[in-house]
Amino acid sequence: MKPKKLPMSLQTKIIGSNIVNTIFIIFIFLVISLVIEYKQLERQMGNQALQLARTLASMPSVISAFDDKDPSITLQPLMNKIRKETGAEFIVVGNTNGIRYAHPDDKKLGLSMVGGDNSPALKGEFYVSKAKGSLGMSIRGKGPIIDQQGKIVGIISVGYLISDLQEDAFQRGKEIGLISLIVVLIGILASYLLARNIRRTTLGLEPHEMTSLYLERNAILYSIKEGIISVDKEGFVTMINQSAKELLNIKEEIVNHKIESILPNTGVYRVLESGKPDRDHEIILRNKHMIINRTPIFEKGEVIGVVSTFRDKTEINKMIETLSEVQKYSEDLRAQTHEFSNKLYVISGLLQLGKYDEAIEMIQAESALHENQNKIIFDQIFDTKIQALLLGKLGKASEKKIRFVIDENSSMGPLPKHISYSYVISIIGNLIDNAFEAVEGNPAGEVTFFAIDVGEDLIIEVYDNGPGISAEQTEKIFETGYSTKGEENRGFGLAIVKQSVEKLAGTIEVQSNPGKGTVLAVYLPKKMAS
């Protein structure tokens, strides 16, 4: 199997890309510079040649030489001297017919001027031309030689060879090329330093690794049920996950906004200043009880931000209540097991004593009792969790010597989907436990459970023949911490019942007569309100 081909590293991409870009830009710059330099040199040489031609054409010695029998005797040495002093490639003087009187090559004196560009000069113009002469292609400054009477008596041509111009341009190009090479080397060094800085900033991660981390981060943030908000060291929100938006009912975009403008009491600034995490702190965010954790983000020992995670305390309470109910089931089942063990010991003792009729009578009595109760539980109540709860309560009642009766008219099917079984179990369990407490210690204590789901509501009733409660107490029994017995660490069961009923959009009623007992009835709608 071939190993996985790793993509090119970010450092290599940056250096390679910058080198290619730098070389390309330098090449374009070099070409443009050479063209501009060549044009400037050409224009400069043309202007220099034209200026020198104007000057020479106006010299008295040049003009007067045309009155001589042989102008070459005066003009040839004079032009050669001036040519050497000015650096011109050639200075040619000829008459109006183009016959040379001065030329760098003595052998070409008396011959016709070459190039075919004398016409404007014969018309009295000074100009710059480019033509091929006897010495090669050249740039020329040309003009007429006019005598004292204003008559054109000759033509003067001052020139520089194109080959010399090209050589000068090439030399300038070498200088620019050397500078460009230095720029390329500096660009390579800068690319390397930039790549190192980026690699350090990205913690050595390559682009494909950062992409993978980003996608994984988004997937994790979306899947986490807890709300997460992170802020930078200045308190601006840098990230918020979907769960946080749903928990806090945030509709607007809050990234890059100050955290206090959305959540004024999150306390992140305290963590930013101290650098110490804040664990399991209970606060109210947007009218919801939240359990929040704040953890500082460090970089090189400096706090650069804070991540806050929070969860709805209501859900935590719900989980605690569910675990509490499970614990109660376990305790109730242990009580039932203990009670049956005691009865089995009694039956075993009766058999050992030969009291067979009494043992059979006890077995039949217990069998009839449990057969009747079990028939109601298993044939008329079809939710297994409610069945388990009632079986546990039967055992607990037996242990406490309380008569617990499940009304034979009870009937309950599986709970509708929108009614959470944890809430229903919490309601039934706490109502029965509250009734047990009301009759505990009373030899004739009796508790009756009734449930029916015929119609639009699920109705749950628990009756006890305890001492009952007064009208004044009726208004307080659902308050957290209130107990009719006035004891501490009590008064939570009915408060939990009320909260659960309200969450299911139901109602609860109390009917009680002091000395005659109490009935607590709960009505839960079987359909969700539209």
* Better-predicted residue by pLDDT, 331 or 311: 311
Bridge partners, 306 (sequence order): 231, 296
Q: How far apart are CA 530 and CA 527, in angstroms?
A: 9
pLDDT band with cut points at 50, 70 and 90 for residue 337: low
Q: What is the pLDDT of residue 489?
A: 42
Cα–Cα nearest to 438, from 410, 405, 462? 462
Q: What is the pLDDT of residue 57?
A: 87
Report the range of poorest mean pLDDT among 206-210, 256-260, 405-409: 206-210
Q: How far apart are CA 159 and CA 471, in angstroms?
A: 127
Q: How far apart are CA 283 and CA 318, in angstroms?
A: 18
188-196: long-range pairs with CB below 8 Å, 24+: 188/15, 188/18, 188/19, 188/22, 190/18, 191/14, 191/15, 191/17, 191/18, 191/19, 191/22, 192/11, 192/15, 194/14, 194/18, 195/10, 195/11, 195/14, 195/15, 196/11
Query: Does this model's pTM top 0.75?
Result: no
CA dist 268 → 59, 228, 250, 253, 298 (Å): 92, 13, 18, 19, 14
* pLDDT tens digit sequence for 307-330: 888 777 655 555 555 665 566 656
Whether residue 449 has pLDDT greater than 90: yes
Whether residue 51 has pLDDT greater than 80: yes
Residue 7 is classified by DSSP as P
Range with top average pLDDT, 111-125, 228-242, 440-454: 440-454
CA dist 459 → 25, 451, 454, 481 (Å): 85, 6, 9, 26
Q: What is the pLDDT of residue 330?
A: 62
* pLDDT tens digit sequence for 99-109: 888 988 888 88
Averaged over 103-117, what is the pLDDT? 85
Averaged over 288-297, what is the pLDDT? 80
> Which domains does the chain possess?
13-168 (3.30.450.20), 226-312 (3.30.450.20), 355-525 (3.30.565.10)
Whether residue 158 has pLDDT greater than 80: yes
